[in-house]
Amino acid sequence: MKTQGRKNFHFHHIQSQILLILNKTLRDEIYDEKIKLATFTATKLTSDYSYCTVYVDTFDRTKINEIVSVLNKAKGVFRTALAKKLTIRKVPQLIFINDCSIDQSKKINEIIDNLHKK
């Protein structure tokens, strides 16, 4: 049972490392001003480390789809940074998607506020 806990810890550690490396790469190595407005909020790694979904948010929500599209085209830069800094055998394929959690929480808060007003 202890080995399962270690594997789980290692898995979550790798996910958090990926998030840190990607944000650092975005800050230090990307020069496109549109992409600079983005931030990576979370990562979701498959159990075999083949794919990593990266959730993207930005201050200007009107441009999020454009930013995600550009990030998916430039994923090689981020994957190279992961290959240099991670100590795992297989560097995952990256999939950048829009982080809708903030929009969803705003909608839920609006619904709750409307219920309280009635």
Query: 64 with 98: CB under 8 angstroms?
Result: yes
pLDDT of residue 72: 92
Overall pTM surpassing 0.75 (yes/no): yes
Tens-digit pLDDT profile for residues 30-88: 888 878 889 999 999 998 999 999 999 988 888 899 999 999 998 999 999 999 999 88
Residue 94's Cβ-count burial label (10 Å; 0-12, 13-18, 19+) is buried
Instruction: Using pLDDT thresholds of 50, 70 and 90, give the confidence band for residue 5.
Output: low
Instruction: Using pLDDT thresholds of 50, 70 and 90, give the confidence band for residue 2.
Output: low
Q: Which domains does the chain have, with CATH numbers?
A: 2-117 (3.30.300.20)
